[in-house]
Amino acid sequence: DTAVSQTPKYLVTQMGNDKSIKCEQNLGHDTMYWYKQDSKKFLKIMFSYNNKELIINETVPNRFSPKSPDKAHLNLHINSLELGDSAVYFCASSQGQRLTNEKLFFGSGTQLSVL
Amino acid sequence: GQQLNQSPQSMFIQEGEDVSMNCTSSSIFNTWLWYKQDPGEGPVLLIALYKAGELTSNGRLTAQFGITRKDSFLNISASIPSDVGIYFCAGQLAGSARQLTFGSGTQLTVLP
């Protein structure tokens, strides 16, 4: 029944490893996002996809690669993890063809800890 | 990117008290929203505002879209323990159909 679900909830890994976070939404929304929340709780957008097409790619290292196999899924793959990547990553979705729909529905987050 | 100044950063209040928090910016926004984040969860939308001067309520919560379109306020009346969490303002810049800009959050603690 969860509208936006992401897995895993917690991810603990060593520096240099490659990891993926998966996200699925069952709301029928056209747009999906990845946000990063740092230790000070600041939320910053990373990527946005509309119907599998990349719309927003903020200044994010190219070690981060989003992949959208269909409009209900947006996964985040991270290569060569660094200590500074430790944060909570949120997937979100919104309705509408363009980025004018501001009502975001968030997943419950993935706590990434890089050791 | 554009910055939203949200204050206060944190609040400790007694149960039953009213709470006010606000967001300001030097830029004009078309839309203001208020989200709440419970511990271990993602933010959840509380109120959305679309017109300057608009005042909207959701239960004990009331939010206003500032006349200048550069600020917004959220009030919580008669606080209860489950109001604990982080409250975020977010805005959508005028002239841009792009992503939301989030404030830095207000951590609310309600003491019994």
Cβ distance A56 to B45 less than 8 Å, yes or no, reads no
Percent of residues, chain B, with pLDDT higher than 90:
81
Q: How far is CA A24 from CA A4, A73, A77, B65, B109, in A?
A: 6, 5, 15, 33, 32
Question: What are the two backbone dihedrals, phi and then psi, of residue B82, each rounded to the nearest 5 degrees?
Answer: -75, 0
pLDDT at B92: 86
Note whether B48 contacts A: Cβ–Cβ < 8 A. yes
Q: State mean pLDDT over B97-107.
A: 84
Confidence of residue B98 (pLDDT cuts 50, 70, 90): low
Cβ distance A90 to B43 less than 8 Å, yes or no, reads yes
Q: What span, in angstroms and rounded, lies between the C-alpha atoms of B25 and B15?
A: 30
Smallest Cα distance from A44 to chain B, Å: 7
Cβ distance A109 to B31 less than 8 Å, yes or no, reads no
pLDDT at A52: 79
Cβ distance A45 to B99 less than 8 Å, yes or no, reads yes
Q: What span, in angstroms and rounded, lies between the C-alpha atoms of A106 and A4?
A: 6
| Chain A residues near residue B100 by CB distance under 8 angstroms | 45, 102, 104
pLDDT at A50: 85
Nearest to B99 among A41, A56, A107 (CB): A56
Q: What span, in angstroms and rounded, lies between the C-alpha atoms of B67 and B80?
A: 30
| Chain B residues near residue A3 by CB distance under 8 angstroms | none
pLDDT at B61: 98
Q: State mean pLDDT over B83-101.
A: 84
Nearest to A102 among B41, B100, B105 (CB): B100
Note whether B85 contacts A: Cβ–Cβ < 8 A. no
Q: How far is CA B76 from CA A69, B80, B88, B111, in A?
A: 42, 10, 14, 15
Whether A80 has a pLDDT exceeding 80, the answer reads yes
Q: What is the pLDDT of residues A22-49, one digit of tens each?
A: 999 999 998 999 999 999 999 999 988 8
Smallest Cα distance from A36 to chain B, Å: 11
Percent of residues, chain B, with pLDDT higher than 70:
94
Q: What is the pLDDT of residues A83-106, one digit of tens each?
A: 999 999 999 999 865 555 678 999
